């Protein structure tokens, strides 16, 4: 099956405001700006995520896969983001939305913010078995972290932003 058709609806990650310094003078500074993005799967409202908007299509696909709400990316026909209504319309090839059993149970998670986990995701994760022969050398991990540190980032521009990265290999 082909990969889904995606819009390219990225938004600027930061915007400039006038802050006031210790002398009462306006100082232009950049801040990160989060936006709500409600995910609809085959016209069924699922959840609203908060996002900076840098890659909303990838965020949507990642969320659906991470939560085990779709079996594969290939099950999705299209992902269309519309910032005028702060929504993303996901259309599957089957056209049946998310199986009700996968979303009937919701768990609110804790941390620096709250999140929502659907179904028995934690039980599914407990069943994941990584290949025993795969190893990640400490030097490789440090190398990946170093490359992330040097990457242009929102943190360098606006500060105080959480981050994550994906790596192949």
Are the beta carbons of 119 and 98 closer than 8 angstroms?
Answer: no
How far apart (Å, rounded) are the C-alpha atoms in residues 9 and 55? 7
Kindly indicate the confidence band of residue 169, based on its pLDDT and cuts at 50, 70 and 90.
low
Fold of 5-134: Ubiquitin-like (UB roll) (3.10.20)
Q: Report pLDDT digits (tens) over 25-43.
A: 999 998 888 899 999 999 9
Biggest distance spanned by C-alpha atoms of the chain: 61
What's the residue count for the chain? 169
Burial 40-61 (b: 16+ CB within 10 A, else e): bbeeeebbebebbbebbbebbb
Q: Report pLDDT digits (tens) over 1-28.
A: 689 999 999 999 888 999 999 999 999 9
Extract the runs of DSSP E, i.e. beta strands, from the chain: 5-6, 14-20, 26-32, 35-41, 44-51, 76-82, 87-92, 106-109, 115-118
How many C-beta neighbours within 10 Å does residue 20 have? 10
Decide: helix, strand or coil at residue 148.
helix
Kindly indicate the confidence band of residue 69, based on its pLDDT and cuts at 50, 70 and 90.
very high
CA 115 to chain centre: 12
pLDDT for the residue 94:
94
**Beta strands at 87-92 and 35-41: parallel, antiparallel or unpaired:** parallel
How far, in Å, are 40, 73, 112, 156 from residue 66 at the CA level? Answer: 16, 11, 19, 28
Q: Report pLDDT digits (tens) over 37-66.
A: 999 999 999 999 989 999 999 999 999 998
Are the beta carbons of 63 and 57 closer than 8 angstroms?
Answer: no
Decide: helix, strand or coil at residue 61.
helix
Are the beta carbons of 97 and 47 closer than 8 angstroms?
Answer: no
- Its pTM stands at 0.75
């Amino acid at each position: 099956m082909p990969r889904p058709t995606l819009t390219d609806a990225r938004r600027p990650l930061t915007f400039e405001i006038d802050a006031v310094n210790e002398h009462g003078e306006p100082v232009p500074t950049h801040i990160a700006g989060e936006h709500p993005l409600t995910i609809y799967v085959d016209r069924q409202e699922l959840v609203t995520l908060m996002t900076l908007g840098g890659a909303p299509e990838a965020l949507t696909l990642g969320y659906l896969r991470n939560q085990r709400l779709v079996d594969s990316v290939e099950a999705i026909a299209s992902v269309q983001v519309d910032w005028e209504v702060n929504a993303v319309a996901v259309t599957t090839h089957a056209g049946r939305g998310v199986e009700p059993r996968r979303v009937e149970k919701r768990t609110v998670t804790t941390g620096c913010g709250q999140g929502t986990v659907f179904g028995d995701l934690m039980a599914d994760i407990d069943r994941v078995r990584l290949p025993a022969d795969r190893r990640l050398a400490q030097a490789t991990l440090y190398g990946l972290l170093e490359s992330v540190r040097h990457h242009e980032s929102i943190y360098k521009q606006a500060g105080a932003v959480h981050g994550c990265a994906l790596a192949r290999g």
